[in-house]
Chains A and B, each alone.
Chain A
C-alpha cells in the first residue's frame, strides 16, 4: 500500500496535484474541530467585511466568518458524499454480482430496473422527493436518498465484469467441485470486482456532493447545516453579488472547485493505476 502511494507520487503529476488539493481540504476539515465560532450561530462577527488577515475569506451578511463556516461546510459535504457512496456501492455490488452470476430472468429484471434508473431524469424526481421530505431533511436522510438513486450505472459495470468472470475456468472448477453460488460470488468474484468498486466510489462521491449543492441551492435540504450547497444558498438569499459581496459566492465556489478537482484527479490516477497496461506506460516498464 505504501509502495503504491510512493510510486503514484513519484510517477504521476496528477496524483501529486490531487494530494496537494485534497490536503488543503483535509486541513480545513481538521481545523473545523478547532473552530472559534459555532457554525449555528449568526452575528458573531461584524458582517459584510471583505477578506482580510483577520477574516481570511471575509464575513457574511449573517455575521459569520466565512472561512470557519466553510470548514464545517466542506466536512459536511464530504460526509454526504461518503455515506452516499457507501450505500450505493452496497446496492450496486449486490445487484451487479447477482445479475451477472445468476443470469436468466433475474438478470433481465435487474438490468431493466437499472437501465431505467440510468435514463430517468433524476433531478426532478429528487426535487419532488426532497420537497416532500423538507421538514424532516437532514444530512443523513439526504445521503440515504442519494445513495438509493446513485447505483445504477455502476451495477452495470460490475455485472459486465462478472459476466466475463463466470466464463473463466476457475468458476467452472468451483461449480463442479460443489461450491455454492453464494460462496463463489463472495470469495471468488468479489475480489475481482473491488477495483471497479473503488474506482467508481470517487466518482459517486463527486456526483453526490454535486447533487447536494444543487438541492441545497434550490432550498431543499437542511439549510441550517453548513454545506457547500447551503453556503451558496444563503449567499443567493442575501443577493451577495448584487450587494457586491463577491467573496461570499466566490469562496464556496472556489473550495468546491478545489475539492472536485482533487477528487477527480485522484479518481483518474487511481483508475489508470488499477489498469496494469496504463500503469506500465506511466512508470515505463
Chain B
C-alpha cells in the first residue's frame, strides 16, 4: 500500500497539478505577450460595434476587463489575484452577453457537448477495439481489411473536413438528416416529450457519427497491434489446443488483456477528442461549448474564450487523473507493485 501511494499515487497527483498549473499559467501569460493593450482594444471594439452601451456600463466593462486580465498591481500580484479568482470559480462577465457570467453560460452549454461526446467516444472505443481485435485474430478476412483501410484513411483527415463531407452528403445531396442545431429552430427543449427527444437524437446522429468515424481508426490500430502480440502467448495457444471456442478465446483471453493499455490511451486522447467535439459543433451548429467559442470569437468576447480555455484544461486534466486513479482497479499488476 505504501509503495502504491509513493510510486503510483503521488506522481499522478503531481502530474495532475503540473498540468493545471502549466495550463493556467500559459493562459495567464498569453494576453501579456499580446502586442496591443488588450483592455483598450476590447473597449474600443465594443464601442465601434454598437454604442448602445451607456458610459457607466462601458466603465464597468473596462473595470471588469482590467480585473479579468489581472492588469492591476505588479505581475506577481496579478498572478496571485488570477488564481484567487479561479479558486472562487469567478471567470468574470461575458463581454458578448454582458453582464451574464461566463461560468453560467458555459454551464448551460456543457451538457450538450458532453451528451454528444460521451456516447460517441464510447461507441468508437467499443467498435474500434472490437474490430481491431477481430482483424488480428482473422488476418485474412477481406471485410476487416477494408474496414481497416477506410478507418485509417478517415483518421488522417481533420475533423472539420470529415464533418463537412458528412454534412454535404447526408444533409444536402441525400437529405435524410437535419442540417444543423440540436433540435429544430423555434422549438423549446422539452425533455419530457418523446417527440422532442427523438428529434434531438436525429439532430445528433451526424455530429456523433463524425466523432465515431474519426476516432475509430486509432482504436482499431491500437487494438490490432496489442492483440497481435498476445495471440502468440502460451496461454492462448493452450486455450486453443484445449479446444475452447475461438470467439471465447478472442473476447475473454485476448481482448481483455489488451483492454488495459487501451483504457490509458482513452484518457490520453481526451484532449484531442474534446477539440474534435468543438469543431463538430461549429460545423453542425450544435449548441455546446464549440458554438459558444465561435460566437465568442465573432463577438470579440475575450472573457468567454478565456473561460472556455480554463474549463477545458481543468476538465481534461481531471478526467485523465481520474482514469489514472481507476486504472489499478482493472490492472492487478499496478495494484501490487
Contact = CB atoms under 8 A, between A and B. Distances in A.
Interface of A: 112-113, 115-116, 118-125, 127-129, 131-133, 135-136, 206, 209-211, 213-214, 217-220, 232, 241, 246, 249-250, 253, 256-257, 260-261, 263-264, 267-268
Interface centre among B23, B156, B164, B173 (most CB of A within 10 A): B156
A109 B27 CA distance: 20
Contact of A121 (B158, B165, B313): B313
B35 A261 contact: no
Contacts of A127: 293, 297, 305, 308-309
B317 A119 contact: yes
Top 5 A-B pairs, shortest CB-CB distance: A210-B158, A264-B156, A123-B275, A124-B309, A132-B34
Contacts of B165: 253, 257
B305 A131 contact: yes
A79 B148 CA distance: 30
Interface stretch (B14-22, B96-104, B185-193, B252-260): B14-22
A250 B169 CA distance: 10
B30 A260 contact: no
Given A116-B18, A214-B279, A264-B152, 5 more contacts: A118-B268, A125-B30, A132-B30, A219-B298, A249-B164
B302 interface: yes
Contacts of B297: 127, 131, 218-220
A135 B268 CA distance: 34
Contact of A131 (B172, B302, B317): B302
Contact of A120 (B19, B158, B278, B302): B19
Contacts of B30: 125, 128-129, 132
B164 A119 contact: no
A257 B160 CA distance: 11
| Interface size, B (range) | 35 or more
B168 interface: yes
B157 A257 contact: yes
B181 to A, nearest CB: 13
B27 to A, nearest CB: 6
Contacts of A135: 36
Contacts of A217: 160, 279, 282
Contacts of A112: 15, 18
Interface centre among B15, B22, B27, B160 (most CB of A within 10 A): B160
Contact of A257 (B18, B161, B275, B278): B161
A240 to B, nearest CB: 10
A116 B161 contact: no
A150 to B, nearest CB: 12
B313 A253 contact: no
26 contacts: A113-B22, A116-B22, A119-B268, A121-B275, A121-B312, A123-B274, A123-B278, A123-B312, A132-B302, A206-B156, A210-B157, A210-B159, A213-B161, A214-B160, A214-B279, A217-B160, A217-B279, A218-B282, A241-B179, A246-B173, A249-B168, A250-B168, A261-B153, A261-B157, A263-B156, A267-B156
